[in-house]
Amino acid sequence: MTAAAWNHHDRRRELAGSSVIDELVASAVGHATTFEAPLRTPRPARRVAVVACMDARLDLFGILGLQPGDAHLIRNAGGVATDDVIRSLTISQRKLGTREIILVHHTDCGMLTFTEDDLRLELLEETGTKPSWAVETFTDLDLDVRSSVQRVRQSPFVPYRDHVRGFVYDVDTGALREIA
């Protein structure tokens, strides 16, 4: 969508007095009217967990050929294997039966555009407080994929570590390249 189209869409929403959340809630109401029998289990049918960046350009269902109910999708800024990702993977494997993990970073990632120190300083200046959490920016996609794979493989809390693989998705070509 072009900048002009975004501006037109935002202006229409302003005039209507609605927000994006209002539109999403209205969509959910429509969804409920055509909703078919729900999946009966929170356990992923394909027993896989996907860790990926939260970037809106990543359609993990389309990229990986997934359907609802196939996988646990765990997303954050950068797709980095943070402590919270390890927590989610631990629960995914120990309580919900997943056995494989795929990590997906991508080209043109926003986490490549600033540094940890820059954001921490910006937050300190604006709020008077530095966050207690690590920002986890990176300068090399391949290296960060390898690092995230290693974090998962080295975690004593994640019991099934034999099938952990990392990839970079190219947002320009749609290609998925294996790194580790």
Q: 41-178: what CATH class? A: alpha beta
Q: What is the pLDDT of residue 58?
A: 98
Q: Which two tokens stand for residue 22?
A: 């209002």
- The C-alpha atoms of residue 142 and residue 104 are separated, in whole angstroms, by 11
pLDDT tens-digit series, residues 9-57:
566 656 567 899 999 999 999 989 998 877 789 999 999 999 999 999 9
Show me where the domains of the chain are located. 1-36, 41-178
Q: Mean pLDDT score of the chain, rounded to an integer?
A: 93
From the list 80, 96, 60, the residue with the least C-alpha distance to 176 is 60
The pLDDT of residue 7 is 61
Question: Tell me, what's the pLDDT at 38?
Answer: 74
Please write the tens of the pLDDT for every residue from 91-131.
999 999 999 999 999 999 999 999 999 999 999 999 999 99
- How would residue 65 be classed by pLDDT, with cut points 50, 70 and 90? very high
> pTM for this structure?
0.88
Binding residues: 53, 55, 106, 109
Q: Point out the annotated binding site for Zn(2+).
A: 53, 55, 106, 109
The token pair that represents 135 in the structure block: 């920002």
